[in-house]
Structure 1
């Protein structure tokens, strides 16, 4: 009886993790608003491409398009940098089924923003 319960519980956990992996897919277009430390609101979008644990893509803002560099993804955690006018801006985030939470470092001043899957 205990063995049957343990086997069933293990199977349910495996299914839940497999479903989370399917729904938490970073590939594609995401958009949001970054509130900079100086109070400016920037509309941004990202077009991500995942290949194994490698993350690439393009970040777009009113200042232009920049490449996603040094991108890594492991499970639902990801990180990358974008280089704007010679300055690297590191991003760290977590992907969920319908959104991403991202922390962005502006050279010591950090901000958190949310990305939603673009339609």
Structure 2
């Protein structure tokens, strides 16, 4: 192999490693508290990321709702969920290893990673 081929191979491997590192790891359980008319409600978000696709559920004492149309790019991700014949769109960003901010047309929520 000549020097140019070796240099190109090193560059490709470096870029592949950086791409894998740049992907957020939001897989796992996250918690948030939502204030409502009848008091506070704890929400549990279970995310799973596989090949750029986000799946999972949002749960509360009222049950669980499946996430749809989830995707992730770098630190940012998005998904939808349906509740009472309405679809809610969410956009999120991982701020740190243990903190996510999720935004929708109804406002913003901070999620914290649940240590298991």
TM over 0.5: yes
Name the structure 2 match of 1:65. 64
* Cα deviation 1:60-102 (Å, max 9, x = unaligned): 0222101011111100101111111221111111013211001
Name the structure 2 match of 1:114. 110
Instruction: Tell me which structure has the larger Cα radius of gyration.
Output: 2
Q: Within 5 Å, give how 1:8-27 maps onto structure 2.
A: 21=22, 24-27=24-27
Separation in 2 of the partners of 1:79 and 1:49?
13
Q: How many residues align?
A: 98
Separation in 2 of the partners of 1:60 and 1:68?
11
Separation in 1 of the partners of 2:39 and 2:88?
16
Measured after TM superposition, the shift of residue 21 of structure 1 is: 3.5
Separation in 2 of the partners of 1:90 and 1:113?
13
Separation in 1 of the partners of 2:89 and 2:62?
17
CA RMSD of aligned residues (A): 2.4
Residues 73-82 or 27-36, more deviating: 27-36
Name the structure 2 match of 1:104. 104
Q: Which runs of 5+ in 2 are unaligned?
A: 1-14
Q: Which structure would you say has the larger RCO, counting Cα contacts within 8 Å and 6 or more residues apart? A: 1
Name the structure 1 match of 2:32. 32
Contact 1:91 1:103 in 2 (8 A): yes
